[in-house]
Amino acid sequence: MSPEEVLAVGRHALEVTLLLAAPLLLTALVVGLLVGIFQAATQVNEMTLSFIPKLIAMAAALMLAGPWMLKLIVAYTRELFESIPGLLR
């Protein structure tokens, strides 16, 4: 296995990781920003006010993006397993 093949497999793994993490991270970012703006506007500084909406939004994002995320990780795993014989030359 050449160094180029190792780098290609690693790069593809990082791309899949970023794609899997993006929906949840972006949801947490947007909800956190909106709650922060709401808290700044109303001067309500309650810690649970930022936690509960994030938790609900993350659950909704996982329900919406979950099937896509599962298909992506299964396709990547299948592709990786199928490439093993070619990598062992």
Q: What is the pLDDT of residues 34-73, one digit of tens each?
A: 999 998 898 888 877 888 999 999 999 999 999 999 999 9
Q: How much is the average pLDDT of 18-40?
A: 94
Q: How much is the average pLDDT of 15-36?
A: 95
Contact residues for 20 (Cβ-Cβ < 8 A; gap 6+):
69, 72, 73
